[in-house]
A = this chain, B = another copy of it.
């Protein structure tokens, strides 16, 4: 049996795990804080160390040896260049043109293949998760930002310069809220975790009475999307309206994906899944209202199965797919 290490590198945390090449078992899932203030080389060193820990642990569990490891798949924030494994810009990490694959390969003496983190998460859900067996898949990872991944005919679609799938940065209001990307009216500017919190703060300024005051101990700057879900679940009107609006924005975004890609499955992952049906039910209703009937009928809209492991699992799947394509 052969094994592959998967790495999911984010601005806050990185996670490492291993899987057998059949995708039947996950081993030794580990994660650490990224500490983006450290140098890129230093972060890679720490990833490499965790990779060795994961390999050792997997070998102990399975009886495999280090020679049974084919290599490392790593998902990182984009834009990036897959061909030479370079992260072009990663604002959350402060990286510019950093040769991530090369450096991690040098540190581990293993073959390293790089792809976008949201692409990997989507591929993970397709491989062994909520979109298993589907032909065409749209994946959204909704957290600090909104990432996206596209699978057509069972393969990741990357576009002409590896930028494809930036669903979070599609305009849903041409003169809308300013987004971190510099554009106005991006889906991310309305429905990411921080955007949900910001809309809640604005709503509180207009309508003072809300459980959110109690939940946050009066510190409105500390509101998170999680607080909003909690208050909504407890029946708070302000929070319920914020969730309703979130479902409306995400619903418009997902409806756009249906009319464009006509997928079998839309997988929603990241913090949004924590809200569960509270968000998913009105989101599905909004999609049904907006998208073409044959597209609505064709698509299941589901939360991811793999939770925080999707990126690691998908990085393994991506490594294997690239190796097969290259062979």
Q: Which residue of B lies closest to A295 (CB)?
A: B163
Check if A159 sits within 8 Å of B295, measured CB to CB: yes
Check if B163 sits within 8 Å of A262, measured CB to CB: yes
A166 and B79 in contact, given A160-B264, A262-B161, A299-B160 (Cβ under 8 angstroms): no
* Residues of B close to A98: CB separation below 8 A: none
Q: Determine whether A33 belongs to the interface, using a CB cutoff of 8 Å to chain B.
A: no
Chain A residues within 8 Å of chain B by Cβ, number: 51
Check if A290 sits within 8 Å of B165, measured CB to CB: no
Q: Determine whether A183 belongs to the interface, using a CB cutoff of 8 Å to chain B.
A: yes
A171 to B255, CA, bound (A): 8
A183 to B289, CA, bound (A): 7
Please state the number of chain copies in the assembly: 2
Q: Determine whether A97 belongs to the interface, using a CB cutoff of 8 Å to chain B.
A: no
Check if A171 sits within 8 Å of B298, measured CB to CB: no
Q: Determine whether A261 belongs to the interface, using a CB cutoff of 8 Å to chain B.
A: yes
A165 to B160, CA, bound (A): 18
Q: Determine whether A85 belongs to the interface, using a CB cutoff of 8 Å to chain B.
A: no
* Residues of B close to A173: CB separation below 8 A: 172-174
Q: Closest Cβ of chain B: how far from A161's Cβ, in Å?
A: 4
* Residues of B close to A158: CB separation below 8 A: 262
* Residues of B close to A136: CB separation below 8 A: 159-160
Q: Closest Cβ of chain B: how far from A165's Cβ, in Å?
A: 7
In the complex, 14 of the A-B residue pairs with CB atoms within 8 angstroms, ordered by the A residue number, are A150-B260, A159-B295, A160-B298, A160-B299, A163-B294, A164-B261, A165-B260, A166-B259, A170-B255, A170-B259, A170-B260, A171-B256, A171-B290, A183-B290
Q: A79-B292, A159-B295, A171-B290 are in contact. List 6 more A-B contacts (CB 8 A).
A: A160-B263, A161-B295, A161-B297, A163-B292, A163-B294, A171-B255
